[in-house]
């Protein structure tokens, strides 16, 4: 059984159906009927006018968003373990033409308003130093923690007070919302967010994430983002297959149903590993203390996962799992404790 | 009936089957079993060791190829109507960090060795001028013409004599090879080519083109290309769905079968429009003289196509068509002449 | 005697005196008293509020200007023989992060409103094509011709009507104004210009050109330009030595006096070469028909100049010359005709 | 009296004489006789073949060096308080097209082999993470400390073992060598260094620093650096004035004489502030504990310097000072202690 990444999973049946449903002639690029429905569908979901576009990957979504929020000579405040800082091979520097990431420490890969404010204070306003122009957070974070609406809003206040754009990497946004139980609006634009990378692939999609812009500047930013999308080779000839997946993901709340399944599976594992947890389990990732010997024993039983440095491991659940299907691993974890 | 682009078509049934066949858990990115087979499959097809990687779009394939062949301070000789020069929103400048396209005129969007050589002679070798570092051609060209193996080899000789990289945009490579009847090797590496964008999407695929490197430098260039792919946001989480499509395309020669169908349909149309042709018809595109009034009459009969400036139109056939299915348009074209 | 470039000349005595005058302690970068006077001095000279900054070279001035006027996905309409297109090793692509030059032909390296308008019409407004965002002209041109105030204004109207920024490479702006006899304002902001590279080095300076912004957007553009200047390594530690040179150049109209001397010398040569002129002589450059044999004979007499392709040569006069000092070359040219 | 920066000082008389000496016609750019002597002069000074070029500023020297050592997708290990990380407005990101700085902590702004090695170990070799490609150190550091030949060699060994380029920001290289008393070769190429920014301006020059390449790859890197220099607008029309300054700086060991004067002045101050030193004083910078009240009292006596956060100040001495001329400040510092 695979617990090494939600990338490994097959497609939600509804996604495969959506692909099949889009399999007829229409205009190319984003001139098709499915792409044309994105703005409306996300505006409904977020209860505000949204400018939405499909992009190919989370990296592209994050970086195109940052390119619209930060000039080449600007900086982006983020967590030092953020995906954009650690796992995108410098893609933000590529898309922004050399903007500077300003990484900060923080528990559970979460930024705090205090830490951001303190960092901003260190920057002289002269031309010798890179001025911060944006804040980027990940929700749920790289350690599976969520920012609540209040926490996002507190960072949104810092962004607003300092004239910074505010972006959220939502590769696991569905898992965050499923945990928080809030309206999508509450944890985004109502909290001051300008741009959201709305993840689909980890949640059962094949290719295609949505990049959303909120607020008055949204149409202008989306227009610019479409230039970046084309210029970076991300404007697919047959975009309808991406748009159709994204629409299927948000219709009938598939995104939340899938995220709830993954989160529920994670909770089941968390109970099995209750003495080993390195972080609270809120979304669909667990980070647990695990010796090399224990890891070997689990793998011998057919469980797959990543080591996370020495003496630790990362377990990721996904939409195709539920409490029942992950029970064997929960049991195996408990068994380790009894030995 | 759609004749405005081969982008509009649905998927080849074999491609849809390949997607379904890849719909099971495997490692993410390009760590899966399908991606691992690309090098071998293309090495067989081209009868030489090939380093192959999937990328999302033709623009990405072209530009990543150019980024490996040309430094930021270098230039790429291409046709002034090449897709990279006209229809990619400056993407080559983005991926190469500002390299300069050096566009040349030429009949049917084809470069000639003489024109290239003359252009190279105008460049002083001092640091004030941009040195040419690569040649890029499109085969079949933007006007549906093909470069024969001898024609490619003549340009390959110019490239070699001047120390230039040599790239081919093969968005319609299948249509070119189907017309030429040559071995894929003859019109590529045997003719001095370093890198090929091997198109799949216009030929019945959904997303995913192959980028191929030939020759001694191929492994190093492919390794670098993989960095660019990640850095530009083109490394999909679930790359197996792209790799599976590409493999399906070249297995059992689906790529050639599809291209032959499209080319055959184009020939049928060419017979119907024999007095109107602006270029010889070799691949799956026709450029014809057509008055606004004639265009309106065709559209009234349900035929869709692009105007091509004043008094002209572009018709594109595709894999899903054959002589039979396009006969109505051929007849309608003949009817125009009789009126 | 040197006629190959105005780069070769020594410094105007006033410039050397200005350097010596700045040789005392003051704040670094542009925090000194000389730099602080630039805005005021140029505002006086141009009879309008000007935002001015020193930069190191004409290439830097041109490219920083373009970076403030054109986004990476935009295009700059210019002449195909413009210095930015031909002699800056792709520097505009570097500073603009890959914006596209859109070169046009035209007599004497001059753009015409008609040619620009025709070019703009070919650009589809979709995301596949690069949108023009700026026009750049050189005055005096690379062939020593000037744009009159009316000619600049006609291009300014095209820029305004199409929402384009408008830049002038004024490496030889002084020579142009000296020829035209107009107010500096007439051929710049009154004609719709947004940014001017005001050349000093070819006109007797050592290092340092001025980059000027006009109009409402000037302060914001200058602020951004100062970021680019630092970021591109052009913010000198001891900027006072540059600022002092520039101030000396415009005080007491040294710039015009020097340009008039150079232009006058060129007229003297033009009389000597009246049957050989390939372009009218308006500034300080002559392009003349000259066989290889004739060139050799002139060089044997100690005259230095560049060949300009086959059967032609370029002669450049400079501030340190006058009619008297160039008379020997004028005579030698006449002598060629008599032989 | 100015102690806020060595940027504030006037020119060494020898430098002014060199400028005057270069004030005659010669070829433009770097085609003149002075520029042609740089390779030889630095090869003599460093006792090995050196490829040398003048550039305008230290930022340009550092960033052009890094552009030749690190690809856009690579990383540069440096100190978190390095000038390139803190005070160049992201210039390394501009010149390298988005390469990633990898800042490390360390006492006195010094990197240690252990810290570098530990950092390198955290980087996975996959395409998701930025690979380190270069190490950059500053000697003397931003806190006025020096790396000894052994310390540089230890870092050079790390660089070599990991296939990294090795660069030194030598804005105050003269001060470092004057303190160390070693041969220039010992602390550079003999210790594994590939590229050195050899500072002149802080040491009595006007404009122009030297960028030096060592080792087998030096000619190729210098050739590429000359492309970057032109492309970034740093190839001055009248480069002879820069080359002449640099030659004057190294002839007759002016660079060392000036640095010894500045270092000596710093030692005198260090004695006066012996109870306040935050770092050992080795070059020409002092960082001292100083209350706001004490700072005000010193300023009231006419001493100028920068605050360095709360309760601290930075004092910089320069070539124009000696023990005698700074004695008043040393006395004033002692007086503070007695009060």
Q: Is the Cβ pair B98, C98 closer than 8 Å?
A: yes
* Site from A57, A83, A93 to mutate, D interface, most D CB atoms within 10 angstroms: A93
Q: Is the Cβ pair C227, A73 closer than 8 Å?
A: yes
State yes or no: pLDDT of B51 exceeds 80.
Answer: yes
| Structural domain containing residue D75 | 13-252
Beta-carbon contacts below 8 Å between B and D: 31
Q: Is the Cβ pair B230, D127 closer than 8 Å?
A: yes
Average of pLDDT values for A146-164? 98
The predicted-structure confidence for C78-113, as pLDDT tens digits, reads as follows 999 999 999 999 999 999 999 999 999 999 999 999
The pLDDT assigned to B235 comes to: 96
pLDDT band for D323, please (50, 70, 90 cuts): confident
Q: Is the Cβ pair A7, B234 closer than 8 Å?
A: no
* Site from D229, D236, D237 to mutate, C interface, most C CB atoms within 10 angstroms: D237
ipTM of the complex: 0.95
User: For all residues of chain B together, what is the average pLDDT?
Assistant: 96
Residues of chain C found within 8 Å of residue A72, distances taken between Cβ atoms: 97, 231
Give the domain-ending residue among C206, C235, C253. C253
Q: Is the Cβ pair D226, B127 closer than 8 Å?
A: yes
User: For all residues of chain D together, what is the average pLDDT?
Assistant: 96
Which of the pair, A220 or A322, is modelled with greater confidence?
A220
State yes or no: pLDDT of A50 exceeds 90.
Answer: yes
Answer yes or no: is C5 within a domain.
no
The predicted-structure confidence for D222-273, as pLDDT tens digits, reads as follows 999 999 999 999 999 999 999 999 999 999 999 999 999 999 999 999 999 9
Q: Are residues D108 and D199 in the same domain?
A: yes
Q: Are residues C205 and C295 in the same domain?
A: no
Q: Which of D89, D93, D97 sits opposite A127 (nearest CB)?
A: D89
Q: Are A169 and A186 in contact (CB under 8 A)?
A: no
State yes or no: pLDDT of D339 exceeds 90.
Answer: no
Q: Any idea which of A119-128, A150-159, C5-14, C233-242 has the lowest mean pLDDT?
A: C5-14
CA distance B84 to chain A (A): 11
pLDDT band for D1, please (50, 70, 90 cuts): confident
Task: Return residues 10-29 of D near C (CB < 8 Å).
Answer: 10-11, 16, 19-20, 23-29
The predicted-structure confidence for D124-172, as pLDDT tens digits, reads as follows 999 999 999 999 999 999 999 999 999 999 999 999 999 999 999 999 9
Query: For the residues of D27-66, what is the DSSP string, one character each?
Result: -SBT-SHHHHTHHHHHHHHHTS--EEEEESSHHHHHHHHH
Residue in chain C closest to B125 (alpha carbons) equals: C89
The predicted-structure confidence for D159-195, as pLDDT tens digits, reads as follows 999 999 999 999 999 999 999 999 999 999 999 999 9
Q: Which of D29, D97, D235 sits opposite B72 (nearest CB)?
A: D97
Measured CA to CA, the distance from residue D144 to residue B77 in angstroms comes to 50
Which of the pair, A325 or A198, is modelled with greater confidence?
A198
Measured CA to CA, the distance from residue D15 to residue A41 in angstroms comes to 69
Instruction: Give chain D's end-to-end CA distance (angstroms, integer).
Output: 22
pLDDT band for C255, please (50, 70, 90 cuts): very high
Q: Does A129 touch chain D (CB under 8 A)?
A: yes
Give the domain-ending residue among D252, D280, D301. D252
Average of pLDDT values for D31-41? 97
Q: Which chains neighbour C (Cβ–Cβ under 8 Å, 3 or more pairs)?
A: A, B, D
Q: Does C122 touch chain D (CB under 8 A)?
A: no
The order of strands in the sheet holding A132-138 is A51-55, A209-213, A195-198, A165-170, A132-138, A75-79, A100-104
Q: Is the Cβ pair A232, B27 closer than 8 Å?
A: no
State yes or no: pLDDT of C339 exceeds 90.
Answer: no
Q: If you search the block for the tokens 């040219």, which residue do you land on?
A: C333
How, if at all, do strands B306-307 and B285-289 pair?
Answer: unpaired
State yes or no: pLDDT of B339 exceeds 80.
Answer: no
Give the domain-ending residue among C227, C253, C279. C253
Answer yes or no: is D296 within a domain.
yes
Residue in chain B closest to D128 (alpha carbons) equals: B230
pLDDT band for A325, please (50, 70, 90 cuts): confident
Task: Return residues 195-214 of B near A (CB < 8 Å).
Answer: 201-202, 206-207
The pLDDT assigned to B324 comes to: 83
The predicted-structure confidence for B316-326, as pLDDT tens digits, reads as follows 999 999 878 89
Answer yes or no: is A5 within a domain.
no
Answer yes or no: is A1 within a domain.
no
Residues of chain B found within 8 Å of residue C4, distances taken between Cβ atoms: none
Answer yes or no: is A319 within a domain.
yes
Average of pLDDT values for D17-46? 96
Q: Are residues B81 and B228 in the same domain?
A: yes
The pLDDT assigned to A170 comes to: 98
State yes or no: pLDDT of B2 exceeds 90.
Answer: no
The pLDDT assigned to B276 comes to: 97
Average of pLDDT values for D10-35? 95
Residues of chain B found within 8 Å of residue D128, distances taken between Cβ atoms: 29, 230, 235
Q: How many domains does chain A divide into?
A: 2
Q: Are D135 and D167 in contact (CB under 8 A)?
A: yes
How, if at all, do strands B209-213 and B195-198 pair?
Answer: antiparallel
Q: Are residues D299 and D202 in the same domain?
A: no
The pLDDT assigned to C244 comes to: 98
Q: Are residues B310 and B167 in the same domain?
A: no
Q: Is the Cβ pair D127, B229 closer than 8 Å?
A: yes
The pLDDT assigned to B155 comes to: 98
Average of pLDDT values for D65-70? 98
How, if at all, do strands A312-316 and A306-307 pair?
Answer: antiparallel
The predicted-structure confidence for C122-164, as pLDDT tens digits, reads as follows 999 999 999 999 999 999 999 999 999 999 999 999 999 999 9
pLDDT band for A2, please (50, 70, 90 cuts): confident
Q: Is the Cβ pair A127, C72 closer than 8 Å?
A: no
Q: What is the pTM of this model?
A: 0.96
Residues of chain D found within 8 Å of residue C242, distances taken between Cβ atoms: 207
Q: Does A229 touch chain C (CB under 8 A)?
A: yes
Share of chain A above pLDDT 70, in %: 100
Q: Is the Cβ pair B234, A237 closer than 8 Å?
A: no
The predicted-structure confidence for C36-84, as pLDDT tens digits, reads as follows 999 999 999 999 999 999 999 999 999 999 999 999 999 999 999 999 9
Task: Return residues 97-116 of C near D (CB < 8 Å).
Answer: none
Quick check: bond before A130 cis, omega within 30? no
State yes or no: pLDDT of B96 exceeds 80.
Answer: yes
Answer yes or no: is A8 within a domain.
no
* Site from B73, B129, B132 to mutate, D interface, most D CB atoms within 10 angstroms: B73
CA distance C229 to chain A (A): 9
Q: Are residues A18 and A112 in the same domain?
A: yes
Residue in chain B closest to A98 (alpha carbons) equals: B97
CA-to-CA separations, C226 to A121, D157, D238, in angstroms, rounded: 22, 39, 24
Which CATH number does the domain housing residue B265 bear? 3.90.1150.10
Q: Is the Cβ pair B89, C98 closer than 8 Å?
A: no
Q: Which of C75, C87, C94 sits opposite B98 (nearest CB)?
A: C94
Answer yes or no: is C2 within a domain.
no
Share of chain D above pLDDT 90, in %: 94
Measured CA to CA, the distance from residue A145 to residue A315 in angstroms comes to 14
Residues of chain A found within 8 Å of residue B321, distances taken between Cβ atoms: none
* Site from D73, D90, D142 to mutate, A interface, most A CB atoms within 10 angstroms: D90
State yes or no: pLDDT of C165 exceeds 90.
Answer: yes
Q: Are residues C309 and C244 in the same domain?
A: no
The pLDDT assigned to A90 comes to: 94
Q: Is the Cβ pair D93, A100 closer than 8 Å?
A: yes
Answer yes or no: is B3 within a domain.
no
Instruction: Indicate if the alpha-carbon torsion angle B140, B146, B152, B154 is positive or negative.
Output: negative
Task: Return residues 41-100 of B near D (CB < 8 Å).
Answer: 71-73, 97
Q: Are residues A297 and A161 in the same domain?
A: no
Q: Which of C87, C97, C128 sits opposite B98 (nearest CB)?
A: C97
The predicted-structure confidence for D47-58, as pLDDT tens digits, reads as follows 999 999 999 999
From the list C58, C62, C60, C93, the residue with the least C-alpha distance to C75 is: C93
The β-bridge partners of B238 are B29
The predicted-structure confidence for B272-299, as pLDDT tens digits, reads as follows 999 999 999 999 999 999 999 999 999 9
Residue in chain A closest to B1 (alpha carbons) equals: A25
Average of pLDDT values for D270-294? 96
Residue D319, number of CB atoms within 10 A of its CB: 28
Q: Is the Cβ pair A127, C226 closer than 8 Å?
A: yes
Q: Does D136 touch chain C (CB under 8 A)?
A: no
Residues of chain D found within 8 Å of residue A75, distances taken between Cβ atoms: 90
Q: Are residues A39 and A147 in the same domain?
A: yes
CA distance D253 to chain C (A): 22
The pLDDT assigned to A1 comes to: 73
Residue in chain C closest to A31 (alpha carbons) equals: C126
State yes or no: pLDDT of A243 exceeds 90.
Answer: yes
Which CATH number does the domain housing residue B210 bear? 3.40.640.10
How, if at all, do strands C100-104 and C306-307 pair?
Answer: unpaired
The pLDDT assigned to A6 comes to: 86
The predicted-structure confidence for C175-186, as pLDDT tens digits, reads as follows 999 999 999 999
Residues of chain B found within 8 Å of residue A9, distances taken between Cβ atoms: 25
The β-bridge partners of D167 are D136, D195
Q: Are residues D183 and D36 in the same domain?
A: yes
Q: Are residues D79 and D171 in the same domain?
A: yes
Q: Does B231 touch chain D (CB under 8 A)?
A: yes
Q: Are residues D125 and D36 in the same domain?
A: yes
How, if at all, do strands C306-307 and C312-316 pair?
Answer: antiparallel
The pLDDT assigned to D285 comes to: 97
Q: Is the Cβ pair B93, C98 closer than 8 Å?
A: yes
* Phi, psi torsion values for A277, nearest 5 degrees: -70, 130
Residue in chain B closest to A171 (alpha carbons) equals: B237
The pLDDT assigned to A194 comes to: 98
Q: Is the Cβ pair A232, B233 closer than 8 Å?
A: yes
Residue C278, number of CB atoms within 10 A of its CB: 17
**Torsion angle in degrees (nearest 10) through CA of A198, A200, A203, A206:** -160
Task: Return residues 234-263 of C near D (CB < 8 Å).
Answer: 234-238, 241-242
State yes or no: pLDDT of B18 exceeds 90.
Answer: yes
The pLDDT assigned to A7 comes to: 86
User: For all residues of chain C together, what is the average pLDDT?
Assistant: 96
From the list B7, D97, D44, the residue with the least C-alpha distance to C95 is: D97
pLDDT band for A97, please (50, 70, 90 cuts): very high
CA distance D213 to chain B (A): 18
CA distance D303 to chain A (A): 23
What are the tokens at D68?
């030749």
């Amino acid at each position: 059984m695979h617990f090494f990444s939600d990338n490994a999973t097959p497609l939600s049946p509804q996604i495969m159906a959506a692909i099949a449903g889009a399999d007829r002639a229409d205009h190319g690029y984003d001139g098709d009927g499915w792409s044309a429905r994105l703005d409306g569908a996300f505006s409904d979901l977020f209860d505000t006018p949204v400018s939405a576009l499909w992009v190919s990957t989370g990296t592209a979504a994050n970086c195109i968003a940052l390119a619209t929020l930060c000039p080449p000579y600007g900086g982006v405040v983020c967590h030092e373990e953020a995906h954009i800082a650690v796992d995108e091979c410098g893609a933000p520097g590529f898309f922004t033409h050399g903007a500077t990431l300003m990484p900060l420490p923080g528990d559970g890969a979460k930024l705090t308003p205090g830490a951001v404010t303190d960092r901003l204070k260190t920057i002289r306003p002269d031309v010798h130093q890179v001025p911060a122009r944006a804040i980027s957070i990940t929700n749920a974070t790289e350690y599976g923690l969520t920012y609540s609406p209040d926490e996002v809003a507190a960072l949104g206040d810092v962004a607003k007070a300092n004239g910074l754009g505010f972006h959220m990497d939502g590769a696991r946004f569905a898992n965050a919302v499923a945990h928080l139980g809030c309206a999508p609006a509450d944890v985004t634009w109502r909290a001051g967010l300008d741009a959201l990378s709305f993840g689909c692939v980890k949640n059962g999609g094949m290719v295609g994430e949505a990049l959303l812009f909120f607020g008055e500047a949204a149409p202008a930013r989306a227009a610019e983002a479409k230039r970046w999308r084309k210029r970076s080779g991300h404007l697919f000839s047959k975009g309808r297959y991406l748009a159709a997946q994204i629409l299927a993901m948000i219709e009938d709340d598939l995104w939340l149903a899938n995220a709830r399944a993954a989160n529920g599976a994670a909770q089941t594992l968390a109970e099995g590993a209750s003495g080993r947890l390195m972080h609270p389990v809120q979304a669909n990732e667990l980070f647990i203390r695990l010796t090399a010997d224990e890891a070997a024993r689990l793998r011998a039983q057919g469980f797959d996962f990543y080591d996370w440095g020495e003496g630790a491991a990362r377990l990721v659940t996904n939409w195709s799992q539920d409490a029942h299907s992950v029970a064997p691993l929960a049991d195996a974890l408990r068994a380790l404790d009894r030995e």
